Structure 1
Amino acid sequence: MLLPLAPEPFTAPTDRDMLPSERRQFVLTHRTCVFGYRRRNDGPGMSVVYYIPTDTDELLVSTMAGRGKARVIERDEKVSLCVLDERWPFTYLQVYADATVEDDHELAVDVMMAVAGRMSGQPLGAEARPQISTMCEREHRVVIRCRPYETFATPPRHLHRNDQVEQLSHWASGVVPWDAADPDAG
């Protein structure tokens, strides 16, 4: 099942690294990412896309079958999604995933309906489905199904005034398995 747009995106803590559960919450409550994939001869291919989380922790991305994102996955299923926070101070969370391409028209329509809702901030009504269906068919829309296996987070750090330079600090984050449990608080 596709999850609806969260009323409020998760706000990353500014004084510590995100817990594994907070990393998942960050991904589930945001809507845009930089989709990255390995290119054969050049640096990584990247594009900004909307993604749709599911109740099974998958992230779905709509694209046209002829685009690089879909074509590359046939030879290399490793992708990354750099999930973007839309608020300041800016933070991001990188998700590493295994991806497959689904050429299922109804799924493509479902995902595009959800994407349109994320773009506008409100769900599309059922009356829009025939138009979305026609667009998906015309553009040969497919769905990239991303199954996360690890995350990497960066903390939001920002100077609100130049006299705060001495207070600015950073810390290292690490790669954490997607399904990792939070450490015991005790």
Structure 2
Amino acid sequence: MTTMTDNEWRSFLTAGTRLAHIALTRRDGRPHVTPVCFILDGDELAFALSPGSVKGKSLAHDRRIALCVSDERQPYSFVTVEGEAHVSAEPDQIKHIAARIANRYYPSQPADDLAESFVQQGFSAVRISITNVIARRI
């Protein structure tokens, strides 16, 4: 097992259309894991949060978050990120993140249209301040 360098794990996170599996703790202490489309935006990881989701309720109670992105092909590499989530209802933030997600995961759809629909539907923008990274190539 080899530890990835900073550049290697950043490249791993931005390659292709891998999903991040977000891990949170519900208010009653039960764990919650769910896949999300995401982007690496500078030194933060970001995703869009649908209104009324378990993720949103969990983050309102506890902003600590962890996620794992893995490769399903050998050599089965993975990157685990830990941090603190910051949720924003600011339309410009939502549009920025949603447009980048659209470009990455839905390239055949107009990014601006998807971004605007996220704002109209009441999505929020989530930015994760990264506090720890575990990145391995097996």
For the superposition of Structure 1 and Structure 2, which TM-score range results when normalised by the shorter chain?
0.7 to 0.9
Structure 1, unaligned runs of 5 or more:
1-14, 157-186
Letter in 2 for 1:153: A
Of Structure 1 and Structure 2, the greater strand share is in 2
In structure 1, distance between residues paired with 2:13 and 2:119:
29
CA-atom RMSD in angstroms: 2.4
**Other-structure match for 2:129:** 147
Higher relative contact order (CA 8 A, sep 6+): 2
TM-score normalized with structure 1 length: 0.63
Larger Rg over CA atoms: 1
Give the share of equivalent positions with the same residue, in percent: 22
Aligned pair partner of 1:49 in 12, 32, 36: 36
| More divergent stretch after superposition (83-92 vs 145-154) | 83-92
**Other-structure match for 2:49:** 63
Return the offset for 1:42: 4.8
Return the offset for 1:86: 5.1
Other structure's SS at 2:48 match:
strand
Change (3 A) 1:131 1:43: closer
Letter in 2 for 1:38: T
In structure 2, distance between residues paired with 1:131 and 1:73:
24
Return the offset for 1:45: 0.9
CA contact (8 A) 1:114 1:123 kept: no
Q: Report the count of equivalent residues.
A: 137
